[in-house]
Amino acid sequence: MAVKTGYWNIRGYVQPIRLLLAHAGVEYEDKRYNVGPAPDYDRSEWFNDKFNLGLDFPNCPYYIDGDVKLSQTFAILKYLGRKHNMAAKNEEEQIRMDLIEAEAIDMRTKWSTLCYIDDFEKMKPDYIKNVAVKLKQVSTFLGSHPYFAGQNITYMDFVMYELLDQNSQLIPGLLDEFPNLKEFHAGIGALEKVAAYLSSDKCIKYPFNGPMAQWGGK
């Protein structure tokens, strides 16, 4: 099998890449590195590979397909978007994708800061308030479009699916206020190959985060 991805044995940054590959019907090796137990969280399995993969910027997630060797989640997603016809098709779609990409990165940073912070319980109420405000904007932006770029599915839909999924597991019922986001989330999860992947034992449903996280990692 020529195509290989590598990441920790969690959902983390790589899950949208896994979902896109499932939707595109790509067979690949999904290398998952284990983190050792507390208190040391031994990462040597990854460090044994890290500098021997031919990556310009050794990191995980990574994606290897013959001479194409990439790290950086969005470099991988954009490459796969072009390769599997899930990139922007015109300027209007590109603008929407650039905008929602930047918002998704901001949202993910806030989400993971909360998940890993020692003061998780203290910070959570503010996070809940802020994420609802942001999701209102995201919901208005999606409007009645089926996908975030507009009429065509793109890699950003897998990023947004994962973000909505993470947040609605952290805050049950979160999407009830936003019927179009709920419908979008259900629609991506129901895509034939994605649904088959999600219900298979190949898919990591949990954990979202590493074992040192306060939420979603244990």
| Contact footprint for ligand GSH (CB under 6 A) | 12-13, 50, 59-61, 72-73
Rounded distance, CA 56 to CA 8, Å?
19
Q: How many CB atoms lie within 10 A of CB 19?
A: 26
Q: How far is the CB of 64 from ligand GSH (least distance, A)?
A: 14
Q: How far is the CB of 165 from ligand GSH (least distance, A)?
A: 17
Q: Which residue is nearest to ligand GSH (CB)?
A: 73
- Shorter beta-carbon distance to ligand GSH: residue 13 or 148: 13
- Shorter beta-carbon distance to ligand GSH: residue 74 or 132: 74
Q: Report CA-CA distances (Å) from 122 to 37, 119, 125, 174.
A: 26, 5, 7, 19
Q: How far is the CB of 177 from ligand GSH (least distance, A)?
A: 29
Q: How far is the CB of 80 from ligand GSH (least distance, A)?
A: 14
Q: Which helix (H) or strand (E) holds 70?
A: strand 68-71
Q: How far is the CB of 45 from ligand GSH (least distance, A)?
A: 11
- Shorter beta-carbon distance to ligand GSH: residue 7 or 148: 7
- Shorter beta-carbon distance to ligand GSH: residue 58 or 150: 58
- Shorter beta-carbon distance to ligand GSH: residue 35 or 174: 35
The strand pair at 3-8 and 29-33 is best described as parallel
The strand pair at 3-8 and 62-65 is best described as antiparallel
Q: How far is the CB of 50 from ligand GSH (least distance, A)?
A: 6
56: which 2 tokens?
Answer: 């310009």
Residues 6+ apart with CB under 8 A from 3: 21, 26, 27, 28, 29, 63, 64, 65
- Shorter beta-carbon distance to ligand GSH: residue 58 or 146: 58
Helix (H, G, I), strand (E, B) or coil at 36: coil
